[in-house]
Amino acid sequence: MMNVSDYKIAVLIDADNVSPVYLDIIINEANKHGKITNARIYGDWSQERLKTWKNRAEKYSLTFVQQYANLSNKGNVSDFTLVIDAMDLLYSGKVNAFCIVSSDSDFTKLIIRLKEDDMYLIGMGESKTPEVLVNSYERFYYIDQILEASDPKNKTVELNGQSLIPKKELIIKELKKLIDDNLEDDGWAYWSIVADQLRKKYPGFDPINYGSKLKALNFFKTFKDFEVKNEDKVAYIKNK
């Protein structure tokens, strides 16, 4: 099984859908999963409203993909180009992971298609991102939540007044169930097995989405519900 840090990642950003204030977060979180070998950003760069994106993106040497607003539904123009580029990168064999940055549910079919070819899939978007898109990824980062945690002056964007990030209470309840389902004879569960199942069910779970910089196991150690131990570099967890 490949280590997360070994992936060669294509980062594809929908500039029409995501604010440039998130760029540092996007690059920092993507780098945690491996090496960014392609980084492209899509939009109509003749538009004044994207000028801020250009100023911020240049420091990361992103490739600007130009799309003119020559169709009535301009947003779909960038979508089509991003999808085409993603498929070209897939068939090139030069990447084994994608990070798609958008809250647009139109990309759901693309993610499913990439998953069929065993690509590792990272998603990034705001709290308004539809659940169907979030659940298509292996990992999903709510970049507005991360920004707000780093600077409380930034307000979280919510949908109908409610964040789509799974509540901590729900995550804890699910984790308890997964631990019970995977207990060994000694009453402990392998953390790696439980963590993998938890992330598959809730791709939107990551401690950083809750304002914590701890790794997942250490994050759960802060709750009174769990007990953790390490033996021969293997981590175990059980319910208290």
Secondary structure class of 232 (helix, strand, coil): coil
In this predicted structure, the answer to whether residue 69 has a pLDDT above a threshold of 70 is no
Which range is least confidently modeled, 51-65, 82-96, 133-147? 51-65
pLDDT of residue 204: 75
Average pLDDT for 193-216: 82
At the topology level, CATH places domain 168-239 in: Nucleotidyltransferase; domain 5 (3.30.420)
Average pLDDT for 173-187: 90
Which range is least confidently modeled, 38-47, 65-74, 125-134? 65-74
Q: CA 176, CA 178: separation in Å to the nearest integer?
A: 6
Whether 43 contacts 62, CB under 8 Å: no
pLDDT of residue 159: 36
In degrees to the nearest 10, what's the CA dihedral of 198, 199, 204, 206?
90
Whether 34 contacts 7, CB under 8 Å: yes
Q: Do domains 4-150 and 168-239 have the same CATH topology?
A: no
pTM: 0.68
Q: CA separation (Å) from 9 to 91, 119, 122?
A: 14, 10, 9
Tokens of 95: 């990447």
Average pLDDT for 118-136: 92
Average pLDDT for 24-44: 91
Average pLDDT for 131-141: 91
Name the CATH code of domain 4-150 (choices 3.20.20.70, 3.40.50.150, 3.30.43.10, 3.40.50.1010).
3.40.50.1010
Instruction: Give the whole-number percent of the chain exceeding pLDDT 70.
Output: 87
In this predicted structure, the answer to whether residue 157 has a pLDDT above a threshold of 60 is no
Higher pLDDT, 50 or 11: 11
Query: Could you tell me the residue ranges of all domains in the chain?
Result: 4-150, 168-239
What mean pLDDT is reported for the chain? 84
Which of 3-12, 15-24, 76-85 has the largest mean confidence?
15-24
Q: How many helices (H) and strands (E) does the chain have?
A: 9, 9
Please name the amino acid found at residue 58.
Answer: E
Whether 26 contacts 100, CB under 8 Å: no
pLDDT of residue 214: 84
